[in-house]
Amino acid sequence: MSFHGQQNILPMFYLKEYASKPISLKEELSLSFYLLTHDLKENEKIKSFARLLIPMVFIQGLISTHIVLEGLSIASFNDKITNPPRQGVVGHILRNIDNRTQVELLEKIIAVITYKDEEAKQLSSIKEEEEEAEFKTVTIKFLLNPGLLEGLKKILPKLKYVPIRDYTVLDSSLITELALDLAEYYRNTIKLLKGNAMRWQNLIKLIDKETDKWLLDLK
């Protein structure tokens, strides 16, 4: 993915004093140079000074929302999400009471839904059944951290559409096809989370239905 001509550029600095008028190029360079030299150690020297441009791509995430991918692959989303509940296992327990008491039955169900039974695993791999583990890892390379986006909210309205000939554009390893694939993976992950939440609600209803029968029997 190449960047040339004119592009939307985020300002390097946002100062309240310049809220209505952006700082000039000379002011920007002067402030940058000051910040670079302010904490220099005795054995450190500045041999070159350039305005670097980090490529970022705004691409549609969910409806009316966007995600931001940065082209250097410095940022990435790497976390674990909950898998859907093992409703089939719980249903099997409820249908096959055997000689268990209701208390023992509930203890068995709690062990299953909290993944503390013998068959449970903490993390699942791609080759394993997802429902065997409580979590699975999700990694989305290039995705800018939501915390960083929160910090950019103030300067996003200050985008400038300017020529980039005065910038040193860093090489981007992000191509258009990959950006579209990452956005699709992001959307599918959100759909998965919503689907898992619905399946947890269905499991709660399944357990409630059975325990309500027990309460009626007690009466």
Instruction: Say if 165 falls within a structural domain.
Output: no
Q: Which residues of 182-197 are buried (b: 16+ CB within 10 A; e: fewer)?
A: bbeebbeeeebeeebe
Question: What is the residue range of 219's domain?
Answer: 76-138+181-219
Q: Which two tokens stand for residue 11?
A: 């300002």
Q: What is the CA radius of gyration of the chain?
A: 27
Residue 103 lies in a domain: yes
> Does the residue 145 lie in any domain?
no
Confirm whether 167 is domain-assigned: no
Residue 35 confidence (pLDDT)? 84
At 201 the pLDDT is 92
Task: Give a yes or no: residue 147 inside a domain.
Answer: no
Please identify every stretch of the chain with a pLDDT value under 50, giving residue numbers as ranges.
126-127
Integer Cα distance of 171 and 2 in angstroms: 8
- pLDDT computed for residue 184 by the predictor: 92
* pLDDT at site 19: 56
The reply to whether 152 falls in a domain is no
Residue 168 covered by a domain: no
Domain membership flag for residue 4: no
pLDDT tens across 15-70, in order? 665 555 667 778 878 888 888 888 888 888 888 888 888 888 888 877 777 888 98
Q: How many domains does the chain have?
A: 1
